[in-house]
Amino acid sequence: MTPVLRLVANNISEGLSIGRFCWQTIGTLGLEPAMKMLPVSHCLVRSFESELHLPFNISKGAVEKVANVLIAVTDAEGTTGIGEAAPFPVLTGDTQEIALQAAKELAEEIKGLSPAAALEKLHNELWQSFSHAPSARTGVEIALWDLHARQLSCPLWALWGRAGLKSATTDITLPCIPAADVEHFWNCFSAHQFPYVKVKVGGGPLEDDVARIMSLMTCTGRNLRISLDGNQGFQVESAKRLVFELVARKIEPLFFEQPLPEDDFSGMARLSEMLPIPVCADETVKTLNDAIKVINDKCARMINLKFMKSGVRESLLITEVARRCSIPLMIGGMVESEIAMTASLHAVCGTGAIQWSDLDTPFFLQKRPTVSSPYHRANAELALPTGVGLGLTLA
């Protein structure tokens, strides 16, 4: 383990409080323990459903309709923080029903505590007990961070870093759809001016993946870059074959996200040596320890963050490790509305350490749970909301 990784790992093992860790290690405002804040007095947990403009198909399954959970935590003065749980059963292992129940139980546990104290309890006492509902943990966590920022009268990004970026540009995801349907996909999203397209691959014949990509090239006139996302749908040789087939056609993807099963660390390392493009670890990295292993064992040259798989705090810790080790980062999500995705946007703008944004899924949703957001206009450039906290209000 490198000295930098050892320092960060030791800080965590010493059991530093969230506030002290954020303040000393991440270098942000964090959760300053000396400040006295109003406790959470009321929690609201409810379901949120939305049809999609297009099915969101990946190698491991498909989402035909969004079935998420919204969380609101309110203090005695009526200040409210909001969050979202976005379960994706084949990836997170939980469902809307599981997330609803878990979020309600977590809400009862945090009542009467300030947002800072509630976050401490969530991580120190409750996190492992709710491992069956990772999206619910994160949804409550986002709501508490939002409330904390609102009580401090500051934007959420200011608690997570000092970069102060005003916007970030996202890609758009081309799901695992037949080549014949790609033109319809592109007609839906071409006006947004996305800088590149993330193409979902795997789960079927390699020829289908190539045909999907070639159809996209036809639609875009080869003027758009692509990345690949395998969602664990390949083995070493099949992943290698796909990349070199594309290179032979003069298509060089920006990177290949999670081609192999999440626990195949050695395979990821071998593939990283074989390919002319970076391998990006996604499902392989859920925790800080996972990130440390990936970096030490050279399993990937990039890491993809997701709040729904890791939580906010763990994602910020991974960001700090990656920054110190010069590992490029991307941030994405499950099939989330603008609530959870805007939280990720705040991380991009606050830390200034995340080079690639895959924050596109709200564009797939037919319904909006908020009054206004970066996703209420059809543009790949996501302008950070003004105001305090997330800067969002429930509709």
Predicted confidence at residue 219, as pLDDT, reads 95
CATH code, 158-383: 3.20.20.120
Give the sign of the dihedral formed by CA 302, CA 307, CA 312, CA 314.
negative
Predicted confidence at residue 60, as pLDDT, reads 82
- Measure CA 49 to chain center: 19
For residue 67, what are the β-bridge partners?
49
Instruction: Give SS3 for 250.
Output: coil
Q: Where are the domains of the chain?
A: 40-154, 158-383
| CB neighbourhood size of 378 (10 A) | 11
Give the sign of the dihedral formed by CA 290, CA 293, CA 299, CA 304.
positive
CA distance 163 to 275: 33
CA distance 48 to 4: 42
The structure's pTM equals 0.93
CA distance 50 to 59: 22
CA distance 339 to 319: 21
Q: pLDDT tens, position by position, for the chain (395 residues)? A: 443 444 455 554 343 334 433 433 333 345 554 456 899 999 999 999 999 999 899 988 888 899 999 999 999 999 999 999 999 988 888 999 999 999 999 999 999 999 999 999 999 999 999 999 999 999 999 999 999 999 999 999 999 999 999 999 999 999 999 999 999 999 999 999 999 999 999 989 999 999 999 999 999 988 899 999 999 999 999 999 999 999 999 999 999 999 999 999 999 999 999 999 999 999 999 999 999 999 999 999 999 999 999 999 999 999 999 999 999 999 999 999 999 999 999 999 999 999 999 999 999 999 999 999 999 999 999 999 999 999 999 99
CATH code, 40-154: 3.30.390.10
CA distance 254 to 202: 17
Could you give the strand order of the β-sheet that contains 40-58, starting from the edge strand earlier in sequence?
Answer: 40-58, 61-75, 80-85
Predicted confidence at residue 269, as pLDDT, reads 98
Predicted confidence at residue 36, as pLDDT, reads 66
* Phi, psi for residue 380 in degrees, rounded to 5: -70, -25
